[in-house]
């Protein structure tokens, strides 16, 4: 009878030890996985940004008249992102941050919105003038 009690106690202790070890192993594996996933995100996001800047740079650089734009666009984009990130973190605690957002996003919006609209207007004007050139 005494041996059965010892066997039950030893079995219970072994189950308890294995349970705790498995819990700790799962926690360690999850922590290592989270660290690996975070490291991957930290590596992939800047790599994607750099790759997209490089693609834009190569595409704009092919047109020799837009070299200034090829330099200016990535710089203004980074400055606007930094300003928006600071505003997101600090809010309206500092007056200079909204001013910086205005000064950084206005050129960016001008490049990204005004230039394509201006190009569409020029194309429309050209097509309208083209109609007058065709004689019946």
Compute the average pLDDT of residues 38-44.
82
% of the chain surpassing 70 pLDDT: 95
Residues whose CB is less than 8 angstroms from the CB of residue 77 and which lie 6 or more positions away in sequence, other chains included: 53, 108
Report pLDDT for 122: 92
pTM reported for the whole predicted model: 0.47
d(CA 19, CA 11) in angstroms, rounded, equals 12
Q: Please, what is the average pLDDT of the chain?
A: 82
**Domain parsing of the chain, residue ranges:** 1-62, 64-136
**Using CA atoms, how far apart are residues 17 and 23, in angstroms rounded to an integer?**
10
Cβ atoms of 108 and 80 within 8 Å: the answer is yes
Residue 134 clears pLDDT 70, i.e. is over it: no
pLDDT of residue 38: 82
pLDDT at 127 over 80: yes
Q: What is the pLDDT of residue 135?
A: 63
Confidence (pLDDT) at 121: 92
């Amino acid at each position: 009878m005494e041996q059965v009690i010892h066997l039950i106690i030893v079995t219970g202790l072994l189950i308890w030890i294995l349970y705790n070890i498995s819990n700790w192993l799962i926690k360690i594996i999850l922590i290592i996985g989270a660290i690996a996933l975070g490291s991957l995100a930290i590596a992939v996001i800047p790599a994607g940004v750099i790759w997209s800047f490089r693609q834009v740079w190569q595409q704009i650089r092919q047109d020799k008249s837009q070299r200034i734009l090829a330099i200016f666009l990535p710089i203004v984009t980074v400055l606007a992102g930094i300003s928006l990130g600071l505003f997101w973190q600090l809010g309206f605690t500092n007056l200079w941050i909204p001013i910086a957002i205005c000064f950084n996003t206005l050129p960016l919006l001008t490049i990204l919105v005004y230039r394509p609209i201006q190009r569409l207007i020029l194309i429309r004007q050209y097509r309208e003038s083209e109609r007058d050139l065709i004689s019946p």
